[in-house]
Amino acid sequence: MEVKMKKTVSILAMLSTIILGAEVIVKGSDTMLNLTQRLAEAYSNVQPDVTVSISGGGSGVGINAIINREVDIANASRRIKSKEISAARANGVDPTEIVIALDGLSVIVNNKNPIKQLTVQQIGAIYRGEITNWNQVGGPNKKIVLYGRQPNSGTFVFFREEVVKGEYSSAMRQMNGNAQIVEGVKADEGGIGYVGLGYIKNVEGIKPLAVAKKVGENYISPTDEARVRSGDYPLTRPLYQYTNGRPKGIVREFILFELSPAGQKIVEEEGFVPVTQNYIERNNSILQE
Amino acid sequence: MRTKIILTALAICALTGFALEPGETELEHNGWYRYTNQSSALKLTDPTVSRFSLERGYLRFSHQWVPAFFTKMTVDIFSSDKYPEGATVRLKEAYADLSLPFVRDFNFTAGLQKHYFGLIYSWDYTHPEKELADEQGICASADYGLTVNGYLPSGLGELQLGIYNGEGYKYAGKYVNTSPEFLGNIRLTPFAGVALGFSVFTNSADAALYKNDKKGRITEAGNIFYMNADTANTSRLALAPSLKLAFGPFSILGEYLGYSYTRKFSYYQINHDTSGNIVDSTLVQKQKDYQMTGLDLVPMITLAGRKIEVFGRFSMWNRREQSGDSMSLNKDKSFVRYGAGANYHFVRREKGKPGLIFQFAWTRTQPKNSELKPTDVLLAQVRFEWSTVITKPSL
């Protein structure tokens, strides 16, 4: 009886989608912008009657939009804050978390820079403004130019908490997005930046640094997918999507597509890492009907 | 002593701030352009008030020096009939905010800041009129003081503890009492759609606006030297449980208010002889208890993709005053209020976008003395709000 009911509801939902046409609105993280755009394009081939609209603005902007019921999905490269959960609940919104991919946040330098690896402590000291010349970390006598994101970016917050562990140097250039950081470092021999893994794939003029947790430990490249997947790479982070309550209808269908083998293949093609078993299990418990 | 603590805290915050290199500055402006029509029993063409005004003209400067240190100053430039120029300016906020070490999501705030009581500090003027505690003078939305404020883990809610002047942001200097106000506020959001709050503040006395510090006397010409009564509201205690329910496009916001104080006052009573000549004066000291209760409810529905908000308003206010051994209802100052209105958002405020809202509201206030006519207020208001981040030029 229950199964029959569920089937009827699903068929009705599908019919209304076909007849009325439907839209899934996604907003937030710039790191996830290209990835979700590709996923939306691919989904439109599977479900031509569903439009998935994607926009960026930063994780904070996306989370704010889900709190205010303006979007169906918020993309976030950082976890939702306690203050934001409280504001959402007061507004009748139940922020529910899905992990759609993993990212190895990549520290990049100009190709002409001979530096190949740094520890998290060294990168932190560089971004705090305590190390200002490449020769202090074994490189050439050249001033370090810092490129980073703006405070509404989830990447800005993640990097500050995990690497900087203090305050960013006021000399850091706050860029609008990952692509702008890549362009900045590409044009600047003294430049250093941090971007999502998806933004370094097939890009010339820059290179990602191998990173070690501390001196004496192994240096791991973010391009080593297995080490990002296992969490050995020190700057591995989940990429989140938030919905209002358990996803339903076309929102659920779109997320299921993102997590399907076809969706996770796109995740890989975009340079990110597919979700691991622990996240798959957690996602399944949320997505089950 | 308390003033010294506040000044020292402010000085430390300011010096720490100036010692740091500048971070991100935000400039914000809120302009509320309002038409008000007030009449008795909805006689719109024979109003007691009919005026256009700049109800609010906030200019706000805030600076995030580093993630752990933030400062803000807000001035309000608004229409006022107190000055021949027709406008005035007042300080609304001026504080420094410092993240507490070892306590995640909690800050220490010093200066003229939010007064975390009931719904007053989070009242966003979805209904264009003031929240009941603010309107009835229980407290102001901002005050000078020190607070520890922040968010509980896992989105469970928020908590604030504070010590304030207790007079609100409009009073300073000689109008400030010598006994501080203590405040506690908690708001819990255990699950989606429910926010439960409870606030309390108390202080032993507010400022005595009229000081009877001279003995009554008679001038040589025989005129009585008139003295104002010496007054102070003592043992002030206010409580406010509050509730917000929000499900889909529907929400209801409500609070119950309980407020009591004892007014102490003194005056010189003129003594006469048997012939009726003034011979002397005697200092008379009296006191009277006051108890107020109130209820404020704002149901709302959001329509058309959040473009339109339609709301109602129901308020109740009972003012009881001591009369002998009983507390009798002052029917002239107690009332029931109801009304409705709507907001239209031309542009919703968000990052990089200004907000432009048209607001319309009607309220009727019926005093509990049925011989008094109701007062109707019609408000139409355009709110324009914007902000911009002033970033450092890249060198």
Let me know whether A78 and A110 are in one domain.
no
Let me know whether A209 and A115 are in one domain.
yes
Residue B18: the pLDDT is: 44
Residue B231: the pLDDT is: 80
Let me know whether A110 and A225 are in one domain.
yes
Angle, helices A249-259/A33-46, rounded to nearest 10 degrees: 110
Let me know whether A184 and A275 are in one domain.
no
Residue A160's identity, in one-letter code, is R
In whole angstroms, what is the distance from residue B106 CA to residue B88 CA?
A: 35
Q: DSSP letter at A150?
A: -
Q: What is the pLDDT of residues A238-254, one digit of tens each?
A: 999 999 999 999 999 99
Rounded to a whole number of angstroms, the CA Rg of chain B reads: 24
Residue A251's identity, in one-letter code, is V
Contact B189 A160 (CB under 8 A): no
Residue B222: the pLDDT is: 54
Query: How many domains would you assign to chain A?
Result: 2
In whole angstroms, what is the distance from residue B91 CA to residue A31 CA?
A: 41
The domain containing residue A258 runs over which residues? 2-102+238-287
Section A204-222 average pLDDT: 93
Residue B393: the pLDDT is: 53
Nearest-CA distance A197 → chain B (Å): 26
Let me know whether A190 and A242 are in one domain.
no
Neighbours of B90 (CB within 10 A): 12
Residue of B nearest to A157 (CA): B67
Nearest to A208 by CA among B108, A239, A199, A183: A199
Residue B304: the pLDDT is: 86
Let me know whether A165 and A254 are in one domain.
no
- Across chain A, mean pLDDT equals 90
- Name which of A25, A170, A243 to mutate to probe chain B: the one with the most chain B Cβ atoms within 10 A of its Cβ: A170
Residues of B in contact with A161 (CB under 8 A): none
Domain boundary among A211, A230, A249: A230
Contact at 8 Å (CB) between A31 and A103?
A: yes
Let me know whether A141 and A197 are in one domain.
yes
Let me know whether A85 and A7 are in one domain.
yes
Nearest-CA distance A265 → chain B (Å): 33
Domain boundary among A188, A209, A230: A230
Instruction: Determine the length of chain B.
Output: 395
Let me know whether A56 and A153 are in one domain.
no
Residue B99: the pLDDT is: 93
Read off the CATH number of the domain in which A126 is found. Answer: 3.40.190.10
Let me know whether A133 and A98 are in one domain.
no
Q: What is the pLDDT of residues A12-53, one digit of tens each?
A: 555 555 455 689 999 999 989 999 999 999 999 999 999 999
Let me know whether A162 and A126 are in one domain.
yes
More confident residue, B97 or A4: B97
Contact A170 B105 (CB under 8 A): no
As a whole-number percent, the residues of chain B with pLDDT over 70 amount to 87
Domain boundary among A230, A264, A279: A230
Let me know whether A201 and A225 are in one domain.
yes
Residues of chain B with pLDDT under 70: 1-23, 208-229, 351-352, 391-395
B204, containing H or E segment: strand B194-205
Q: Is the pLDDT of residue A278 over 60?
A: yes
Section A234-239 average pLDDT: 94
Phi, psi of A261 (to 5 degrees): -55, -40
Strands of A236-244's sheet, edge to edge? A50-57, A22-28, A73-76, A236-244, A95-104
Q: What is the pLDDT of residues A50-65, one digit of tens each?
A: 999 999 988 999 999 9
Residue B201: the pLDDT is: 97
Contact at 8 Å (CB) between A62 and A28?
A: yes
What is the band of A11 on the pLDDT scale with cuts at 50, 70, 90? low
Query: Global pTM?
Result: 0.84
**Interface check B26 vs A, CB under 8 A:** no
Q: What is the pLDDT of residues B106-149, one digit of tens each?
A: 999 999 999 999 999 999 999 999 999 999 999 999 999 999 99
Residue B15: the pLDDT is: 46
- Which chain A residues touch B if contact means CB-CB below 8 Å? 57-58, 61, 64-65, 68-70, 81-86, 88-95, 151-152, 160, 167, 170, 173-174, 245
Which ranges of A135-276 does DSSP label H, i.e. alpha helix?
A: 154-159, 178-186, 225-230, 249-259, 261-269
**β-pair type (B87-99, B335-347):** unpaired
Residue B19: the pLDDT is: 42
Strands (E), chain A: 22-28, 50-57, 73-76, 95-104, 106-110, 117-119, 145-149, 173-175, 191-195, 206-208, 210-212, 236-244
